[in-house]
Amino acid sequence: MKRRDFLLGSAGALVPLLGRAQRPCPPPSTAALGGSSVTTACRAGTYATNFPLAENPLSEGGRWVCGKAAGIDWNNPQVLSGRACASVRSGATGSRYDDSIAHLNASFGAFTANQYAQGTVYRAPGYSPAGSKHEIELLLRFQITAHNARGYEVLWGHDGDFAIVRWNGPLGDYTDLGFNGPGPGVAVDGDVLRAEITGNLITVYKNGLMVGASPPNSTWTEGQPGIGFWPVDSSMPASYGWKHYEAGSV
């Protein structure tokens, strides 16, 4: 949504925490592909998908709550050939901040307040739309209802932009949480990006290394993990997205 219009290199309140190894819960021994849920010895529950079925909007049997279908003012993600991406350019028919967003449906399993969202990047070969912004997003403690979308977002711009942001509810209403700018660098095809929230702290990882954290923020204390996309101007929605997604409680 937004900060996308921040200037690269704008001063953040936090210095990236580089080089510290991530120590997540080990992955389940049985793969959960195509929108399956699994339980492991150290996770209360996990949802993982390789987005195997083409669909618009993203649904996977009703397991996702989408931005336009439920929120009205935003857009829905779609699935194309094993990847999730935006369904339209943001601002094409309305507000510039009408991201394509979705979170996992609590009706199929509510996650604890301490949770993570993790995605493997899809990026088309050579994709770099000059003069445009295109972000992929991991959402935490998110909730979408009519004319309201609130929670936390970690965004990764195609050009290296990075920020941690709180959505406050109404369309275009957001708060930068003090970490933005070049951050951990450009996300390329196959990178694994992860965001965790524990208590009032959000930490972010790239390929297993911690690359940043937010200042303490306790505005939203519950909600679901999810995904989002923000392609504007000359961006091509299908060229930058997620080809694997996993979420769980921590």
- Give one DSSP letter per residue of 114-135, joined into a string: SEEEEEEEEE-TT---TT--EE
- What pLDDT was estimated at residue 124? 98
pLDDT at 178 over 90: no
pLDDT at 8 over 80: no
pTM surpassing 0.75? yes
Classify each residue of 75-112 as buried b or exposed e, where b means 16 or more C-beta atoms within 10 Å of its C-beta: bbbbbbeebbbbbbbbeeeeebbbbbbbbbbeebbebe
Three-state SS at 14:
coil
Under a CB-based contact definition with an 8 Å cutoff, are residues 58 and 73 in contact? no
pLDDT at 202 over 70: yes
Q: What is the pLDDT of residues 10-36, one digit of tens each?
A: 222 222 222 233 334 433 333 334 555
- Min mean pLDDT across 49-58, 60-69, 87-96, 143-152 is at 87-96
Number of structural domains found in the chain: 1
Range of the domain at 40: 3-249
Mean pLDDT of the chain: 85
CATH (domain of 31): 2.60.120.560
**Who contacts 191 (Cβ-Cβ below 8 Å, separation ≥6)?**
120, 121, 206, 207
Confidence of residue 182 (pLDDT cuts 50, 70, 90): low
Q: What is the pLDDT of residues 80-138, one digit of tens each?
A: 989 999 999 999 888 999 999 999 999 999 999 999 999 999 999 999 999 999 999 99
Confidence of residue 161 (pLDDT cuts 50, 70, 90): confident
In the chain, what percentage of residues exceed pLDDT 90? 73
**Rg of the chain in Å (alpha carbons):** 16
